[in-house]
Structure 1
Amino acid sequence: MTHEPVRYTGGTETNGIAFIEGSGGGKTTAILEVLRNFEPLALNPDTDVPRYLHMKVESPATLRSLGVAILDKLGAEGVGERTKVYEVWNMVRHCLARRGITLVWLDEAHDLFRSTTSTEMSNMFKMLKGLMQGEHPVVLVLSGTERLSAITGLAPQVSRRFTKIRPKPLAFGVDNARIKALVQGYAGKAGFEVTLDDHVINCLIYGSRYRFGRCVVCILEAIECALMDDAEPHGMRQRCLCRPVTPWPEAAEAALADFWKAHIACQIEIDASIAAKADTNTSTTNSMKTKNASALQGRSPSRACHPTAPKPSMSMAS
Structure 2
Amino acid sequence: MLGTAVLWIDEAHDLFQSGTPSEVRDILKTLKSLMQGDGAVIVILTGINSLWQIASYDGQVKRRYTKISLPELSNAKDGKAISKQMEVFCNRAGLRPPDEADLVQRLVYASRNKFGLCIENILHAIELALKSEADQLTMQHFAEAWAMQEGCDYRGNVFLAPRWSEIDLAVPVIN
**What range describes the TM-score normalised by the shorter chain of this pair?**
0.5 to 0.7
Match of 1:153 among 19, 40, 56: 56
1:187 aligns with 2:90: yes
Give the Cα separation in 2 of the matches to 1:178 and 1:169.
Answer: 14
Aligned residues: 150
Structure 1 residue aligned with 2:2: 2
Match of 1:210 among 113, 125, 128: 113
Structure 2 residue aligned with 1:239: 140
Aligned AA for 2:20? Answer: T
Structure 2 residue aligned with 1:141: 43
Give the Cα separation in 1 of the matches to 2:100 and 2:114.
Answer: 20
TM-score between the two structures when normalised by the length of structure 2: 0.60
Give the Cα separation in 1 of the matches to 2:8 and 2:105.
Answer: 34
Alpha carbons 1:110, 1:148 under 8 Å: kept? yes
Alpha carbons 2:106, 2:164 under 8 Å: kept? no
Q: Name stretches of at least 5 consecutive residues in structure 1 with no aligned partner.
A: 4-40, 42-51, 53-102, 243-251, 267-318
The RMSD of aligned alpha carbons is 3.7
Q: Of the two, which has the highest radius of gyration?
A: 1
Label 1:128 to 1:232 Cα distance change in 2 as closer, same or farther (>3 A): closer
| Shift, 1:161, TM fit | 1.1
Structure 1 residue aligned with 2:69: 166
| Shift, 1:207, TM fit | 2.5
Give the Cα separation in 2 of the matches to 1:193 and 1:126.
Answer: 47
TM-score between the two structures when normalised by the length of structure 1: 0.37
Match of 1:201 among 98, 104, 112: 104
Give the Cα separation in 2 of the matches to 1:104 and 1:143.
Answer: 8
1:219 aligns with 2:113: no
| Shift, 1:182, TM fit | 1.8
Match of 1:115 among 8, 19, 29: 19
Aligned AA for 1:186? Answer: F
Alpha carbons 1:129, 1:158 under 8 Å: kept? yes
Give the Cα separation in 2 of the matches to 1:200 and 1:223.
Answer: 14
Alpha carbons 1:104, 1:138 under 8 Å: kept? no
